[in-house]
Chain A
Amino acid sequence: MIAAFDEMRRADGGVRPTYSEFARWLTDVGSDALNYRRHEAELLFRRIGITFAVYGEADAQERVIPFDVVPRIISAAEWRLLEEGLSQRVKSLNLFLCDVYGAREILRAGVVPHDLIFRNPAFRPEMMGQQAPHDIYIHVVGIDIVRVDADTFYVLEDNARTPSGVSYMLENREIMMRLFPELFARYRIAPVENYPDELLATLKSVAPVSAAHEPTVVLLTPGVHNSAYYEHSFLADKLGVELVEGRDLFVKDEVVYMRSTQGPRQVDVVYRRIDDDFLDPLTFRPDSGLGVPGLISAYQAGNVTLANAIGTGIADDKAIYSFMPAIVKFYLGEELLLKNVPTWRCRDEEHLAYVLDHLHELVVKEVHGSGGHGMLIGPAAPKATIEQFRAKLTTAPNNFIAQPTLALSTCPTCVEQDLAPRHVDLRPFVLTGRDRTRIVPGGLTRVALKESSLVVNSSQGGGTKDTWVLDE
């Protein structure tokens, strides 16, 4: 396997400019200081109650996501590159969604195959011809980026449904500022604390035209048992909006209200952290107890804005992903700035043949999977697993894509008593409002804590780091 790019050290062992001050500090204070702070950080997280739940683990109802105190540092120049690429990507995704649920020009032009849209479970036929308020579909998106060498960043996937993790970006920074004031004095680090303000401005900007001057925004959560509940409550608090569950809302005459101690109060914007399927039992899954009966009718009547809009899953689908270069070209006439990982679509016979021949060196993913589940990492997999996937691929090739195993960049990470390189990715968050696009400099860096592991998902032993974007 090729040596991975390390964020801190060059191949010759020298320290990169971004980390030079950190390295100097580390020699000054010694690694004991780092260890001590590591324990303090763990205590702080527990005390604050920043936890997540892991589905399918009965006992682990609340776990603290491991936090690593060594920051992931990004230079101003690198960030500019990322920022530009992110804007371009999100703009295209929005145009794509507008088109898919509207005029369908991209289909008529033959750029994206029909059946990839219409036979896709993430496509919402209920939304056809239904314009999203102000033509914005994806108000909040988290884009997973990995780095493979000094100049190359790849987009791993676009999370355009209800991306989570932003609370870790904010809390990680708070904790780092508490534990490492000296480091913050040595570096000029772009702040992320304005994210909630930016989010609120974004959400207010997309209120229905008919809404009052000060629109009422709420955050809709599935409830305390959801794995991201902490984040929901954290954000609602920072936004200063009500954290509501489905049962707190009701719809009357196509208008959404919340039940308050002073009687019903009209709601204009719902920042929903519930999947499409569960939003409204009258339109989608009738067995959903999480949603609000009639919500979709209120949405269709234009009396409430849902953020993100319904049906955005069609844009972050892994099969659509592979068409991103063409999609960007089609709408903007530009080349894709942030590259896709080269992807083989198994629905394509030639691609499938290649994939089946090279299973031991590829990563195979389910088109609709997430959270690192249902995934094959060829080089690390035992023979039996590879054969299992071979069988799956042959029976249902449409469900899979394959990508080369990437040498994700590494970042020094506390292990046992020492620092060692571990693989990382990065999820910046992009906000799209009626007025403009907002990107807070930073994001969530996830780290695979197991040696040489490439799976950074928190449900599978991944941790997080604070992400510093340097201000020149």
Chain B
Amino acid sequence: MLSRTADNLYWLSRYVERAEFLARILEATQRLTTLPLAYVGTSNEWESAVATAGCASAFFSVYDEANEKNVTDFLAFSAANQTSIRGCFELARSNARAVRTALTVEMWDAINGTWLELKRYGNGPNSREEFSRFLRWVQESSLRYDGSAYRTMLRNDAYWFSRLGVYVERADNTARILDVKYHLLLPEKERVGGPLDYFQWAAILRSVSALTAYHWVYRDSLKPWLVADLLILKDEMPRSLAACYEAIVRNLDAIAGVYGRQGPAQRQARGIRTRLQNSRMDGIFQRGLHEFISEFIAENNRLGSAISEQFLI
């Protein structure tokens, strides 16, 4: 297939995935900030939402203060933010438009329909109710796109590149939540977090839609080190770093199988996957959660570039 087509499919999936993630962050933050101060402490959750979205410097070049109004506006609608939710859907749609021939009717319908409906929200909803409906809608749109791709695409390289986009983006998103909140996720022996942190942990889980999953996996109340374990190492948790890398390796292998050639992208992905497989939470805490996460984010970015160089340009 054309490199440009593969590139568009890859980015189309990334942008849709990112839009959904932004909606989840906003939803979780909104929930957290409506709690009485006694339950969440005095940290500025809106500021950490901006940090999690990875656009702190862009945000503060436009606004002085990270409050609900500014942050929701910036992450959801602002024209100053190219990868706001709106920006993501617009970029996704223009990528889709450039490769319509590579999309199934259902996928096009999903992304074009989303883009058309987006206009309904104009420059942003007027009330909190409307805004939370909007956030729901964003997540549903992403599910619909993802489901259409999953259900209707031929299982060939086009599909695998589109999946790669999903998982590279998802791994990045999960890692960034961990990066911002790592100080709340302490190892077992360092019980500094009081009940105050409970809602923080719940918010982290919520932003990767894993709150229920947590209880199924551990059958235990929320413990920070288990939250970290779930998001980093648990294969069965679809947004964990381990699960993302299992999928990345699988899709890259499928491509290599058909093309009859392994390349740097395959080798790098397998390297990261192996490291995740061989890690235990104790070891990660010992070497420092923060270091582990920063390193992961950098490696995930390097894999993104390797995929680009090998296939997309």
**Residues of chain A whose beta carbon lies under 8 Å from any beta carbon of chain B:** 46-47, 49, 223-224, 229, 233-234, 236-237, 242-245, 247-248, 258-262
Contact = CB atoms under 8 A, between A and B. Distances in A.
The dominant DSSP class at the B interface is helix
Interface stretch (B2-10, B192-200, B232-240, B290-298): B2-10
A262 B259 contact: yes
Candidate in B3, B113, B116 with the most chain A CB atoms within 10 angstroms: B3
B259 A243 contact: no
B311 A261 contact: yes
B100 interface: yes
Interface string B113-136: 100100000000000000000000
B284 interface: no
Contacts of B97: 49, 224, 229, 233
Given A47-B109, A237-B100, A224 B2 contact: no
Given A47-B112, A224-B94, A261 B1 contact: yes
A39 B31 CA distance: 42
B109 A247 contact: no
Nearest to A242: B2
A454 B67 CA distance: 58
B98 interface: yes
7 contacts: A229-B97, A237-B100, A243-B101, A247-B4, A259-B313, A261-B255, A261-B312
A259 B1 CA distance: 8
Contact of B108 (A49, A242, A260, A261): A49
Nearest to A219: B101
Nearest to A258: B2
Nearest to A46: B116
B4 A233 contact: no
Interface string B300-313: 00000000000111
A34 to B, nearest CB: 25
Interface in B82-99: 94, 97-99
A245 B4 contact: yes
Nearest to B112: A49
Contact of B6 (A237, A244, A261): A261
Nearest to B113: A47
B259 A261 contact: yes
A259 B4 contact: yes
B293 to A, nearest CB: 31
A74 to B, nearest CB: 30
Contacts of A46: 116
B1 A260 contact: yes
Contact of A244 (B2, B100, B109, B313): B2
Contacts of A243: 99, 101
Given A244-B4, A260-B1, 19 more contacts: A46-B116, A223-B98, A224-B94, A224-B98, A233-B100, A236-B101, A237-B100, A242-B5, A243-B99, A243-B101, A244-B2, A259-B4, A260-B2, A260-B3, A261-B1, A261-B2, A261-B6, A261-B259, A262-B261
A319 B313 CA distance: 46
Candidate in A46, A242, A247 with the most chain B CB atoms within 10 angstroms: A242
